[in-house]
Amino acid sequence: MKDLAGQLSDAAGAAFAGLGLDPALGAMRRSDRPDLADFQCNGAMAAAKAAKRNPREIAQGVVDALSGHPLVASAEIAGPGFINIRISTAGLAAMAEAIAADKRAGAISADQPRRVVMDFGGWNVAKEMHIGHLRSTIIGDSLQRLFRFMGDDVTSDVHLGDWGLQMGQLINEVKLEQPGLPYFDAAFKGPYPKESPVSIEDLERLYPQASAKSKADETRRNEDRQATAELQSGRPGYRALWRHFCETTRVSLERECAALGVTFDLWKGESDAQPLIPELIDDLKSRKIAELDDGAWIVRVARNSDKKEMPPFLLVNRDGAAGYHATDLGTILDRKRTIDPQLSLYIVDQRQALHFEQVFRAADKAGYMAEATLEHLGFGTMNGKDGKPFKTRAGGVLKLQDLISQADTAAEARLTEAGLGADLPADERTATAHKVAIAAIKFADLSNVRTTNYVFDLDRFISFEGKTGPYLLYAAVRMKSLARRAADEGVTPGAIAIELDAERGLVLALDGFGDAMRGAYDKRLPHILCDHAYSLAQAFSAFYAAAPILAEKDPVKRASRFALTLATLKQLERALSLIGIETPDRM
């Protein structure tokens, strides 16, 4: 459905065309002075400059043409030729009715849906999710929700770090602690045990232990390289043990994903690109895209237009090993063959910007994927109150499971303080507290501009006041409570009529949903949707305070306001679902 700005732009465009001018000059946008007008058009000044005519004369011609339009209550000229529009109550009522009847609550769809790959998460095997993984996970999930709802065919891939030297290090560390396992017996013919010999807790302990030993001892490092090479060459025992590492880690990761409400279509890893690496290397060498440089094979990706140094893409290092550059290029080739995406989005820490620029340029140079279809969506860091990356009080990295547990506890306490949910059954209260906790975590992150750093303050974010996730949940629950009371009292929604300023403000807020979706979609910035949800909740709060709903004596007004409430609830829940927030029924 077309929003008010779109409908007004069409009408103003026709007016400009009637004056022999470009219809695009009729573009309308929200007014910079909402106290004076709802929308404004600045096209008369641009038209005057091009046509060498008086801008106020042109504006007057447009205003005359718009007078009498059903959407327009008033059209006035301000300053040198600004056109200010105030929407008619009939136009607002019609928009509210359209949103109320629309199953998508006023949402828009993509003009040309695409096949899109979203690469986010990116955790390493043998490590539990920690707070440093939060941003990629929830930003990526919000974008996959938005792009799917817009109509794109989205494939999300976690792209696990499951290959490389760290796997050889782990294999050798397990061998030191449990040397009798059959995985280390080259003569063993199988079958290997179905149960993993290590738990996720074991892996969490062994991972840093093995890494430290490898860094400190050249002999051990060579042994780890040898174990890695044997794993990658297909040694059966090492492959079987490695699969245990991967499966054990995945169980842990899926637990955290379930708590966050995040899902992936693919659980592929770096290892899935490995079968393509020899072919890729041969291809780039044979076409002379790769060149030998001081014992390493590289692809030069620098351009004359570069304003900073651009190091070459490293295909094969001096030791003959293919690293992350080659793995990521192999992944692009794999996705090209299996999915053929028209757009690939990588939601990864901003500090990886140079790496992805090198990979994308190499992919373009090789003809695998056009650089314009590959985007790195970087993000800032989540910091503590000291302004530094978030740590535990002991100085360690906080596990995500522990953060969620802390948020659950804080949400329970805040519900009690606010006198909410006291009459709920224990299991429903626990589920509600968890929804409040996840809303606090997600909204705190997503409401910030993706590219900026932000300070994580759980005490502030868990509040039911201010620009927080719990505040939005409370607004939705208040609307749901009204709906239940209406059902008990036999009140049904009716035709929407607009009389009060608070009603006008609420409908104008509802009308902003499509524009917010378009901004978040085009710019890949979820905070725009967060801003809309917050503005909508504020507008409803003003409406709730100014306009009696179920207490209204006039049955026509009561039915109108109840219908407007239901339309608001539908859109607020839709907006929250696009950023991954689920609303409880009661508090």
Q: How far is CA 305 from CA 301, 308, 371, 528, in A?
A: 11, 9, 16, 33
CB count, 10 Å around CB of 394?
Answer: 6
Assess whether pLDDT exceeds 90 at residue 322: no
Task: Give the residue-averaged pLDDT of 439-463.
Answer: 95
Assess whether pLDDT exceeds 90 at residue 511: yes
- Gyration radius of the chain's alpha carbons: 29
Tell me the pLDDT band of 190, cut-offs 50, 70 and 90: confident
Q: Do β-strands 374-376 and 343-346 pair in parallel, antiparallel, or remain unpaired?
A: parallel
At 269-313, the pLDDT tens digits run: 999 999 999 999 999 999 999 999 999 999 999 999 999 999 999
Task: Give the residue-averaged pLDDT of 518-535.
Answer: 98
Assess whether pLDDT exceeds 80 at residue 345: yes
Tell me the pLDDT band of 146, cut-offs 50, 70 and 90: very high
Predicted confidence at residue 395, as pLDDT, reads 65
Tell me the pLDDT band of 360, cut-offs 50, 70 and 90: very high
Assess whether pLDDT exceeds 70 at residue 394: no
All domains of the chain, ordered by start, with CATH?
4-87 (3.30.1360.70), 117-160+267-376 (3.40.50.620), 165-260 (no CATH), 400-578 (1.10.730.10)
Predicted confidence at residue 486, as pLDDT, reads 98
Angle between helices 236-260 and 165-177 (to 10 degrees): 110
**The tokens 């449990």 sit on which residue?**
178
* 63 close to 81: Cβ distance less than 8 angstroms: no
Q: How far apart, in whole angstroms, are the C-alpha atoms of residue 73 and residue 86?
A: 5
- Give the rounded percent of residues in the chain with a pLDDT score beyond 70: 99
Predicted confidence at residue 390, as pLDDT, reads 78
Is-above-0.75 flag for pTM? yes
Assess whether pLDDT exceeds 80 at residue 25: yes
